[in-house]
Chains A and B, each alone.
Chain A
Amino acid sequence: MSTKKTSKSKKAAKAAPKKRSNSEATPATEEMLKLYRQMLMIRRFEEKAGQLYGMGLVGGFCHLYIGQEAVVTGISSVQEPQDTVVTTYRDHAHMLACGMDPRGIMAELTGRIDGYSRGKGGSMHMFSREKGFFGGHGIVGAGTAIGTGLGFAHKYRGDGGVAIGYMGDGAANQGQVAECYNMAALWDLPVLFVIENNKYGMGTSVERSSAGELYKRGIGYGIPGEQVDGMDVFTVQAAARQALGYIRSGGGPYILEVMTYRYRGHSMSDPAQYRSKEEVASYKENKDPITTLKAMMETAGIAEEDLKAIDKDIKEIVGNAAEFAKNSPEPPPEDLWTDVLVEV
């Protein structure tokens, strides 16, 4: 697993990240099981969401996270309860990783009253203040500015929290992302910018859309950046642990470019003709984050039954979520008129 790093500016140099050990040491069994469970939960949830979409139970756009599970799983495994998270619209996994209830998420996908937004947000617009999840945004790049503001509030209040702002490789080209790098660095805001580089912004490859390296885009602002293998959950975890430590110790913002891959199309209706079947198959066969971790656990001697028990449990949770989401009522007509403004 290759990690590239850049921290050339004077500011970065003052607290240059130390070289760290990565996943070469065998992690604890419990940790492996925890991460396996989280990744599997995301995959099964997304497969089920895709199935419900296929049945016409989920409407509109539906962007699945399958293939990218190691990214949010690795990062969320080392975040603190006071931290906050925001992302763009490929967001179901981030909600699950924040500890949001799969039933509430699935019920939002089906547009029902028990969804996190009472059926008024949909796949791209869910929030949980309680779990520190601030969306779910439909506008590419806007979530990064929101995330920078979450970080601003952490610093203003001095609550020790870090804002984790996820964006895709496509969002990295938005002008406001550069604006936010500038302000975050200028004001030493506790923000971890995570670029989930899955190689394609919808149908346009990174090579065709982005000059230079995304993780180096902070250099001019003095923000250290690092590119890591996002198909290996322990690599992601180690990078996130170090980045969050750097931010929490007052270093200011940090950019983590996580190289990953989505197996499905951009959204459900994307036939993905801009990439070869061989490319997709190669990731699935050789780089799959869940298969990789499973092999690691087998080597570590974790019993097959333990994994099967997790599989079964998750299948049940996801199945229950789907049933819950199918059976929850649609919002009542009067809900059309609520929540436009807070009544004073």
Chain B
Amino acid sequence: MPTNILMPALSPTMTEGNLAKWLKAEGDSVESGDVIAEIETDKATMEVEAVDDGILGKILVAEGTEGVAVNTPIAILLEEGETANDSGEPSAEAPAPSTAETPQESAPTPQSNNNATQPTGAIVQNRDIFHAQGVIIEPPPFDEAAFFTDTYDVTVRDALRDAMAEEMRADKDVYLMGEEVAEYQGAYKVSQGLLDEFGETRVIDTPITEHGFAGLAVGSAMNGLKPIVEFMTFNFAMQAMDHIINSAAKTLYMAGGQLGCQIVFRGPNGAATRVGAQHSQCYASWYAHVPGLHVLAPWSAADAKGLLKAAIRDPNPVVFLENEMLYGETFACPSDEDFVIPIGRAKIEREGADVTIVAYSIMVGKALQAAETLAEQGIDAEVINLRTIRPLDRHTVLESVKKTNRIVCAEESWPFAGIGSEIAALIGEHAFDYLDAPLARVCAADVPLPYAANLEKLALPQVEHIVEAARKVCYAD
């Protein structure tokens, strides 16, 4: 049957072009791959190749014609023995993507006919998606108090180690990889003892090669393992950003749900002490910006253990932001190995009636100190420990603000497009009418972190800044 050769598009934006030259004449036989014509666009001259074998029956658009619309038939291709006048000659109408070749009229919801073997995509109803659709949902239920009947005192450092050890005992696919995690026992001694217990196949010292080992770990996760990747600090993870975002976060979506990536990227984030601008950045909002990632930021030892266990069990890629200044702090932590904090649930660390202070990571401790000072001044502050940055527990924050009508966001990140900005947007969209004062943000100064002790202190948010901000939104001065 004769077939139309159509004016091809050379790019998604091309709508028309010039037919510069025919390289085959009517009656010539052509084979698939033969160049039959040249066309011009404003950008380039390109060759048109035959896709089928046959005989060039009739040229419909003469060479030299300008402004030929894409998909216009430019010639007719015949099989041997046919003529251009044979019945069945294709109509000169350009076929559109939805020609009537297959009835589709009664298809309100497109259904896969499953002819290409393909698992169906995961049905996902995650919290961010609900939020994007305008829904505020309650956080996952969790009876946390029940776990605190039996606790042990532990540093954040050892709680992180205990979480990894317990999960590695339970699942042989879990392994730890990073710089100095094995023989050195961790640059900050977080992985102390793990090499001895699990051996060098599961606790792996890497070269200083963040881009490479992050990508390697993602590949191993695609192939069924459950890596924990330790970055000596998240400042170095900028080298690995492409794999965290492009390879880990986006793959499940790009694969239509059939191939995900169970991986934890963890390490200290934010400022330490006097290490200068390149070792002191907070990356919470960078990662929280990305759909496909879970972003967690523990404060206490209980947070550290319960959230890291959740992260390791989570089938999704998780960015786990620790804080070097907290590693040595001791907290009571539940002894029960089933203490796993649900991702997406904030914790009210201190109940109060007058003002809500939202914080994460090291700022939770500072917010609690600020609340003590404020209490002495007659202001009853409620302190929310976000724990999960993404998906954000919007419900807990909103309910608190509806109660206190005033809110301060405290974080160690820069102000511009920070987590505080996201909280501000949340309040503006969903609690505008509840506010008795404009929201206040407490952030790092919008400068690279300086080295000099006095300047560094000025640049980082302190307890007194939170107190000031809370007093301001309470019109206390």
Question: Which residues of A pack against B, CB within 8 Å?
Answer: 43-44, 47-48, 50-51, 53-57, 59-60, 66, 84, 86, 101, 103-104, 107, 110, 113-121, 125-130, 134-135, 137-139, 142, 144-154, 156-157, 163, 175-176, 179-180, 182-183, 186, 263, 265, 268-269, 271, 273, 284, 315, 323-324, 326-332, 335, 337-344
Contacts and interface: CB of A to CB of B under 8 A. Distances in A.
| Binding site secondary structure of chain B | loop
A337 B224 CA distance: 25
Contacts of B8: 51, 53-55
Given A55-B6, A326-B97, A332-B110, A341 B124 contact: yes
A307 B292 CA distance: 48
Interface stretch (B149-157, B256-264, B439-447): B256-264
12 contacts: A48-B51, A54-B6, A54-B7, A55-B8, A103-B116, A116-B116, A117-B255, A120-B256, A146-B216, A183-B206, A183-B212, A339-B124
Contacts of B215: 142, 144-146, 148-149, 176, 180
B219 A56 contact: no
B294 A341 contact: yes
B242 A47 contact: no
A179 B211 contact: yes
Contact of B118 (A118, A271, A329, A330): A118
B207 A331 contact: no
Given A156-B225, A271-B46, A323-B101, A183 B207 contact: yes
B262 to A, nearest CB: 8
B225 A50 contact: no
Contacts of A326: 97, 99, 101
A114 B242 CA distance: 29
B327 interface: no
Contacts of B247: 137, 139, 142, 145-146
B209 A56 contact: no
B231 interface: no
Contacts of A268: 10-11
A145 B97 contact: no
Given A103-B115, A142-B215, A149-B219, 7 more contacts: A66-B33, A84-B223, A86-B219, A183-B207, A337-B133, A338-B124, A341-B252
Interface residues of B, number: 88
A145 B14 CA distance: 36
A341 B258 CA distance: 11
A341 B217 contact: no
B32 interface: yes
Interface in B142-197: 175
Nearest to B215: A145
Given A148-B216, A150-B220, A186 B207 contact: yes
B254 interface: yes
A176 B212 contact: yes
Given A55-B9, A142-B246, A179-B209, A157 B101 contact: no
B246 A138 contact: yes
A340 B124 contact: yes
Given A118-B121, A337-B133, A342-B316, A271 B9 contact: no
A69 to B, nearest CB: 12
B476 interface: no
Contact of B258 (A53, A129, A186): A129
Nearest to A131: B117
Nearest to A134: B222
Contacts of B45: 271
Interface in B76-112: 95, 97, 99, 101-102, 104, 107, 109-112
Nearest to B175: A156
B241 to A, nearest CB: 11
B211 A176 contact: yes
B124 A55 contact: no
A47 B51 contact: yes
B123 A149 contact: no
Given A84-B223, A179-B209, A183-B209, A120 B70 contact: no
B33 A47 contact: yes
Nearest to A334: B109
List the 5 closest A-B pairs by CB distance, nearest first: A149-B219, A145-B215, A54-B8, A179-B212, A104-B116
